[in-house]
Amino acid sequence: MSNQNFRSILTGSFSTPCADNPTVAMIEAAYRHAGIDARYINCDVKATHLKAAVRGAVAMEWAGFNCSLPHKVAVIEYLDDLAEAARIIGAVNCVAIRDGRLVGNNTDGKGFLASLRDVVDPAGKKIFMLGAGGAARAIAVELGLAGAEHITVINRDAEKAETIAALVRDNTGSDAVGRPWSGKACVPDGTDIVINATSVGLGDAQAMPEIDLDTLAKGQIVADVIPNPPMTRFLREARERGCTSLDGLGMLVNQGVIGVELWLGKTLDAGVMKQTLRDIFSASDAG
């Protein structure tokens, strides 16, 4: 008798719509590269079926799953425990299943942080962030937990910016303020890191957030959460002004790496994931 094993480890994603999410290609390429017999199943799960999907993952002994829109908040009521950042952020995009127990985490900000740490440690740094959506919230909390000195969040709806700033002040050792975003945003003197956490530039290589580029300073780190195209117009303009650019592709890849670490305790090859996404995005640009 052969001792071959025909059972794959199961992981995946619950979201809707899900057909345009390339995470499955990125993670399965890295599984293959590492010689891990695991699958990543991209599932379209409607809001009314979320509870059943989570129960199904437990019943089928999945190792874990990602959950994306619209499930990041709704999934929390079906979990047994939350990691610190997920509790503060109030949203979960990654669930690990251990012995039938479901633990929720949020890798949005963690992916960004891992990418940022390749170029600088955010501890003691002053940060200026555009936008106050889900990505901004997760990134601001992680930066606070990582010891950033000060975070300024700007948004058209200033109340949303202040909500995020208050989260940071109340739950981390960092100081933060929310400000209204009216007209062109001006980066304050002394800023170390500028982050576009809006969706402006997604799928549009010419679009750019409303910002006064002349207020960028040489040597600043300028980051964008947009993965496609990786080199957004905002990053191109920042580079021309002597800034160090950080693209959203790294953030997306690191989220995948961190998620698999939570599920399998194994670290996949980020380079394989990044190349897979680059190939997909350049093919979609060509089409």
Give the catalytic positions in this structure: 72
d(CA 143, CA 168): 9
Angle (CA) 49-50-56 rounded to 5° is: 90
CB 67 within 8 A of CB 102: no
DSSP codes joined into one string, 154-168: EESSHHHHHHHHHHH
Query: What are the residue ranges of helices labelled H in the chain?
Result: 23-34, 50-59, 84-89, 108-117, 134-145, 158-171, 233-240, 248-264, 270-286
Residue 277, Cβ neighbours under 10 Å: how many?
Answer: 21
Letter for the amino acid at 258?
Answer: I
> Distance between CA atoms of 54 and 195, rounded to whole angstroms?
34
Please, which residues have CB within 8 angstroms of residue 114's CB and are 6 or more apart in sequence? 250, 254, 257, 258
Return all residues near 87 (Cβ < 8 A) that are at least 6 apart.
Answer: none
